[in-house]
Amino acid sequence: MSSSTIQQKQERKSGSAPIWQFAQGVAQVTGGTVLGITMLASSVVAGGLVGLATSFRNLPDVRVLRGYVPTETTYIYDFKGKSLASLHGEANREVVKLENINPNLKRAVIAIEDSHFYLHHGVNPNSVGRALLVNWERGSVVEGGSTLTMQLVKNLFLNREKRFSRKIAEAVLAVRLEQIFTKDQILEMYLNQIYWGHNNYGIQTAAESYFAKEASELNLAESAMLAGLIQSPEDYTPFVNYQKAKERQAQVLMRMRELGWITAAEEQQARSQPLQLGKVTSWQTSQLPYITEAVVTELNERFGKDAVLKGGMRVQTTIDYNFQKMAEATVTRAHANMRRRGLYADQVALAAVDPRTHFVKALVGGVSYDKSQFNRAIQSRRQPGSAFKPFVYYAAFASGKYSPSSTVMDTPVSYRDGSGWYSPRNYGGGYGGAMTIRTALTQSRNVPAVKIGKAVGLDKVIEVCRTLGIKSPMEPVTSLPLGAIGLTPLEMAGAYATFANNGWHSDPTVIVRVTDSSGNVLLDNTPKPRLILDPWAAASLNSVLVGVINGGTGTAAQIGRQAAGKTGTTSSERDVWFVGYVPQLATAVWIGNDNYRPLGAGATGGGFAAPIWRDFMRQALKNEPVKYFEPPSKFKRP
């Protein structure tokens, strides 16, 4: 046996031979004379079709494919790279380079679909002639005779109606395409474009769906089964009829053996090899649906919905899968405990933000996503009650006119508000007389908060909220300092995170980075903190809010380390909150009913929301070192 023959067999066995070399097998089957006639006829027909092309001036310009980018599926991952979800419109597709597709698959597809692919110029005269004869006898188009190139232009440019004029246009476009692109380029476009069944477009998603593998990892048996799907994916899918899929696989393997591209032994081994099927992946639900919704919302705002569904983005989120699951379990467990305690609240929401980066670390939009898909952490604006007061007192400290030790009068007062008078009342009734701001905030007194808000200016309070990134609507009504507006848990957590970082702020985000499928960066959310608050005022507020947990209304939030926070309870007990933080994490917890039904007498943020916050933070900070807030004395007072 010659050394060249031995080398060819070794290349065939290893899969290293270029795909065009397997065109030699066609000559072995058809004979050299027929092959010569085929190639000559192909050239003649190609030349004739180029002349005929002048009659098809309205056909698409195939040169647009030079910059063609097929629609691709967008993938979302957690912070460590774990897959969370895939987003796509009609086409679930992931584009892959030809060199990353296993040679077994390339040979199988060419063998069963167009064994002369590397020999013709876009049209195979033998196949076309046979199809024309059959169609002429039947009086309609019943047989195609299409090459891979003709199939590609049909999918990209033409409708699917069976008419002679369309077949001619298909042939003309195929010839044009072959004049511009190489065979390998056409094969790559074809394998990434065609439909493989179950909403899988392109070989990569097909390989992942049918066999849970990359396209580069497919063996001969798997490749032959996938190649057999192309003719009629829904008929030959192994998910529906495995036996029928095996019969079609055998046809592909037999054709490969006839062409000399595999041996009889390889054919038999592939036919008898057991196949481990994957599962349909096109419409899988998200691993973390609340996170996916938040990601999609942010992506749509930045790129538009169409680009998100078709742009093949790779999205790294700020979320750790296990951390989010812990947060969800905490909310579910807390809800069950509240029911046992007699508090019949429909929902609990939680949002956690890292003050150092303003990366969102957890978002729990409700007790059960399966029962309700509404994401209350980012979509539900509920009154924060007294949890809004820190914004008022920060504005007071930043004005330079007040400090935590400043005196405020907790005495009756009335204000002209709209068409009537507004007289604030403390929770539980009564008045405390003269007291420091520290005492007023620690005990969550309402009257002093309204007085301070009016003194510094309600427009100034709103300005502070806007600076902190709060976008929900606000009006300068007298009751604003008591939280008489709606905010989301994420807005609250993000704003408090800036207090925790002594006034340094980044825009909260659930996205770290977005790239396209080639790795080009489309969005980089590397934190770029900017100082937006007065450091002394922020540190002063922190020192007061530490007292809320140590000896005020939030003692149920004690976690064994320094922490700051504020309770919130609205009138009629419709909403209860606890928002708190340490230097490494700020978390907002909200409890309420979607229909705004009161939770019942005695339902307070300190009694119900604070324990949930405590449970979550203990778990979240288990491996975090204890850190302390900077004292106000470190900063210059405004």
Burial of residue 586 (number of CB atoms within 10 Å: 0-12, 13-18, 19+): buried
* Number of CB atoms found within 10 A of residue 101's CB: 24
Per DSSP, the three-state class of 422 is: strand
> Starting at the edge strand that comes first in sequence, how are the strands of the sheet with 360-364 ordered?
360-364, 347-353, 585-592, 575-582, 564-569
Query: Distance between CA 19 and CA 12 in Å, rounded?
Result: 10
Phi, psi of 82 (to 5 degrees): -70, 135
d(CA 359, CA 527): 8
Residue type at 61 in one-letter notation:
D
Tell me the two tokens of residue 227.
Answer: 């190649």
Q: How far apart are CA 547 and CA 558, in angstroms?
A: 11
**Active-site annotation holds for 386:** yes
* Cα Rg, the chain, nearest whole Å: 34
Alpha-carbon span 304 to 627, nearest angstrom: 41
409's CB contacts (< 8 A; 6+ apart) are 433, 434, 448, 451
Cα separations in angstroms, 76 against 46, 190, 307, 538:
46, 26, 14, 36
Q: Distance between CA 216 and CA 237 in Å, rounded?
A: 21
Backbone angles phi, psi at 478, to 5 degrees: -60, -30
Give the pair of three-digit tokens for residue 46.
Answer: 């190609």
- Element housing 30 (H / E): helix 24-30
Q: Find the catalytic residue in 115, 209, 286, 386.
A: 386
Indicate which residue of 113, 222, 267, 293 is catalytic: 113
CA 272, 278, 280, 282 dihedral sign is negative
Run of H or E including 201: strand 200-201
Asked about 113 being catalytic, the answer comes back as: yes
Strands 74-77 and 314-317: parallel
Active site residues per annotation: 113, 386
